[in-house]
Amino acid sequence: MNFQHNFRLFIICFLAGIAFVAQSQNPMALYFMETIPQFSQINPAMQPRANRFYTITSVNQVFQSDLAFKDVFQKSGNEWVTLDSENFNYNKLYRVLGSTSNINQYTDVNLFSFGFRTGKGYFTFSVSERVVVQSGIPADMFRIMDKGFPDNSHFNFSTFRQKAMAYKQISFGYSHELTNKLTIGANLKPLFGQVALSTDISRFSLYTNRQQWEIIGNGTIYSSLPIDVTYTQGEFPDDIEEKDLKDKDYIKRYGTSFSNPGLAADLGAVYKYDGRWTFSAALNNLGFINWRRDLNNLSFKGSYLFDGVSVDASNKDNIDQAFEDILDSLKTVITYTTDHKKFITGLTPSFYLGASYHLNHAVSLGLLSRSAFQKHNFRQDFSLSANLQPYSFVALNLNLSQRIKGSTHMGLGLSFLAGPLQFYMLTDHIPLRYSKVEVDEDDFIISERLKDVTFMVGLNLVFGRHGYRDKPLLDR
């Protein structure tokens, strides 16, 4: 099996496989569900309805992709074809790609949290474990699969991006009702990094012709990982050895360490225009982590020439040999520098704008906009929701969401109380249309347009769920 086939198979599994996976961005359904105390994680100015709460467990998982199933699998006649098929139409793929195909995954596990009302204020505290993986695949990687390495071509890989990190987060939140109309709040979040891998590439280009190929690169790969790396100055690392994480010292070191400090903040405001209209805004995840331990950094900068060949994608033997030649040449001509310097990774900020209209004590409508800011990747979602609480022990959110350059999906939120014990479950991006797909003689029922999956579930102990008796948060 040749390199081109392996490469295409890897891309197919990496991109198309996401459609079958439901893996820290909260569900949009949470924003208007004031019966669930965790909604203050999105907008710290929002005060939970309960006078006190304690979290037993809470897990939030998010998966996001720029490409849907229908983008990496295409219908050709009566069959679905993949990226390595001669019938695959790459022009359709290029129309949705942009400069980069982004794939993100977030996992947030709440280890402990509580909150309580203090007069016109509300205090919250939480400890959580977070894992963030953000990847960007340059569009020109797909051009290689499509065309190979033709003469007189330019490939731009500068948008390649990888950021993966695990860290602990402690959150101190407080909101205060300044007037009967305006409430403000903030979450201050000390962060403590555990492991990280991050790239910072300002330029990475390949120019091809029959006589010579040229690579122009400027970038650094940063890591804070439990590995030992053997370096020969000016050469690619020739030995990477993992440390024994079964050792109790390493478990304690990476699980409870405070040696990679960081800080983040959330800011929010809520304005009650009148008895029915409420407007709100929040700016989240303004922060960074400073990595100081177990550092191994690899940098490259300059222009490098080596012998080139003309390669057409239709000739698989040639493209195999071309990749082998490129890898051999890179080892000999590119000059690497290594160090153990500190580095900083930023979080992914997000901005929320919301408006809600209360029809009566049990029904309200909500409109929400969410914008996420990430390198080579700006995301904006809109959501229209109906929030129902027919009885004090149950609450329901139904919403339709639309992402820019995406499709319309349904979201659902459910909260149920059995005495003080509260169970809640929320999800975004439930597909409205499904198709039966056959790939390599295997049948799947799937949404062709599915790009994102968000799921959150948890248990709380809730006390004083109606708020103060003399000033209830739910006006009847």
Q: Say what the pLDDT of residue 270 is.
A: 96
**Lowest mean pLDDT across 86-90, 406-410, 431-435:** 431-435
pLDDT band per the 50, 70, 90 thresholds, residue 459:
very high
pLDDT band per the 50, 70, 90 thresholds, residue 231:
low
Residue 234 belongs to a domain: yes
Q: Say what the pLDDT of residue 417 is.
A: 92
Q: Rounded CA gap, 389 and 232, in Å? A: 65
Q: Rounded CA gap, 300 and 235, in Å? A: 10
Residue 364 belongs to a domain: yes
Token pair recorded at residue 324: 């082998």
Q: Rounded CA gap, 182 and 188, in Å? A: 20
Does residue 402 contact residue 410 with C-beta atoms inside 8 Å?
A: no
pLDDT digits over 317-363, tens only? 555 666 666 666 666 667 778 888 899 999 989 999 999 999 988 89
Q: What is the mean pLDDT of residues 403-427?
A: 87
324 vs 57, more confident:
57
Q: What is the mean pLDDT of residues 393-408?
A: 83
Quote the domain boundaries for residue 63: 3-463
**Lowest mean pLDDT across 26-30, 209-213, 297-301:** 209-213
pLDDT band per the 50, 70, 90 thresholds, residue 313:
low
pLDDT band per the 50, 70, 90 thresholds, residue 16:
very low
Residue 151 belongs to a domain: yes
Specify the DSSP element, H or E, that contains 304: strand 297-307
Token pair recorded at residue 136: 């960007």
Token pair recorded at residue 354: 């919301």
The DSSP output letter for 24 is -
CATH code for the domain in which residue 234 is found: 2.40.160.40
Query: Exposed (0-12), middle (13-18) or buried (19+): which is 265, by Cβ within 10 Å?
Result: middle
What percent of the chain has a predicted confidence (pLDDT) above 70?
76
Q: Say what the pLDDT of residue 187 is.
A: 97
**Lowest mean pLDDT across 57-71, 115-129, 357-371:** 57-71
Q: Say what the pLDDT of residue 248 is.
A: 57
Does residue 468 contact residue 51 with C-beta atoms inside 8 Å?
A: yes
Q: Rounded CA gap, 266 and 45, in Å? A: 10
Q: Rounded CA gap, 338 and 299, in Å? A: 6
Token pair recorded at residue 164: 């993966």
Q: Rounded CA gap, 268 and 280, in Å? A: 8
Q: Say what the pLDDT of residue 440 is.
A: 59
Say yes or no to pLDDT of 301 above 50: yes
Q: What is the mean pLDDT of residues 147-157?
A: 83
Q: What is the average pLDDT value for the chain, to the nearest integer?
A: 81
pLDDT digits over 36-54, tens only? 999 999 999 999 988 999 9
pLDDT band per the 50, 70, 90 thresholds, residue 475:
very low
Question: Based on the structure, what is the number of domains in the chain?
Answer: 1
pLDDT band per the 50, 70, 90 thresholds, residue 89:
confident
268 vs 362, more confident:
268
Q: Say what the pLDDT of residue 6 is.
A: 42
Q: Say what the pLDDT of residue 85 is.
A: 75
Report the half-sphere exposure of 274 (CA within 13 A, side-chain side).
3
Q: Say what the pLDDT of residue 20 is.
A: 34
Between CA 277 and CA 286, with CA 280 as vertex, the angle to 5 degrees is 175
Say yes or no to pLDDT of 4 above 50: no
pLDDT digits over 167-205, tens only? 999 999 999 999 999 999 999 999 999 989 999 998 888
Residue 15 belongs to a domain: yes
What percent of the chain has a predicted confidence (pLDDT) above 90?
36
Q: Say what the pLDDT of residue 44 is.
A: 95
Report the C-alpha dihedral over residues 111, 416, 452, 17, rounded to 10 degrees: 80
Residue 433 belongs to a domain: yes
Residue 475 belongs to a domain: no
Nearest in space to 290 (alpha carbons), one of 254, 264, 260 = 260
Residue 469 belongs to a domain: no
CA distances from 381 to 44, 100, 348, 376 (A): 20, 19, 15, 17
Query: Exposed (0-12), middle (13-18) or buried (19+): which is 367, by Cβ within 10 Å?
Result: middle
171 vs 429, more confident:
171
Q: Which residues make Cβ contacts (< 8 Å) with residue 59, sequence separation at least 6?
A: 107, 108, 109, 110, 456, 457, 458
Q: Say what the pLDDT of residue 103 is.
A: 86
Residue 393 belongs to a domain: yes
243 vs 125, more confident:
125
